[in-house]
Amino acid sequence: MMNYQQTLDYLYSKLPMFTRVGASAFKKDLTNTIIFCEALDNPQQKFKTIHVAGTNGKGSTSHMLAAILQAQGYKTGLYTSPHLKDFRERIRINGKMIRKNEVISFVKNQEKLIDEVEPSFFEVTVAMAFDHFAKHQVDVAIIEVGLGGRLDSTNIIQPELSVITNISMDHTNMLGNTLEEIAGEKAGIIKKIRP
């Protein structure tokens, strides 16, 4: 059985990761995430969510929303990326990071699925977060988009609310060369009959 560092090494070395390989790690559809989460019994459907996209301010907005909801007594999940020092910063409940043994267990239990689906690093971490939040029965989870919106792995949720922060020129090689194109990608998190 792998320890925590070996588990992270496995995730970093085996899976395409945007910070390591660039645009090739960005999948142009949600298929892998859908397949992965279906195999996990769709954990993203077992709690309420707020979805946050944008170029600037989405991390701050996500953290503020989580803090407000937690202060009001809600058991609150928070999924953000990237992390600064520890991978576990990405997945928190009421401010507490996912435990190392939970990361190890998830990867060990899903290793066969990871080999079959060949998801990206981000797709695995999104599925891990959804699974963690469902198992711990959060009341609500704040889900920060990784890149873009429409085709981001997080966009399989049906949020109670979608939030789009400031938009400026970013990732033009993947999202478009104009503010209108980039805004269109970010607006992809907006759902019908959802504020």
Write the CATH number for 121: 3.40.1190.10
Q: For tokens 């999104």, what's the residue?
A: 126
Give the model confidence (pLDDT) of 121-133 as tens digits. 899 999 999 999 9
Span 134-155, average pLDDT: 94
Residue 176: inside a domain, yes or no? yes
Alpha-carbon radius of gyration of the chain: 16
In a domain, 195, yes or no: no
In a domain, 194, yes or no: no
Q: Which pLDDT value is given to residue 24?
A: 54
Q: Using pLDDT thresholds of 50, 70 and 90, give the confidence band for residue 183.
A: confident
Q: How many CB atoms lie within 10 A of CB 163?
A: 20
Give the whole-angstrom CA distance, residue 85 versus residue 95: 15
Residue 156: its pLDDT value, please?
Answer: 97
- For residue range 8-38, what is the model confidence (pLDDT) as tens digits? 999 988 765 545 555 555 557 899 999 999 9
Mean pLDDT of the chain: 90
Q: What is the pTM of this model?
A: 0.91
What is the tally of structural domains in the chain?
Answer: 1
Q: Residue 162 falls within a domain, yes or no?
A: yes
- In which domain, by residue range, is 75 found? 4-189
Does any domain span residue 28?
yes
Per residue in 71-122, pLDDT tens? Answer: 999 999 999 998 889 999 999 999 999 999 999 999 999 999 999 998 888 9
Q: How far apart are CA 156 and CA 29, in angstroms?
A: 11
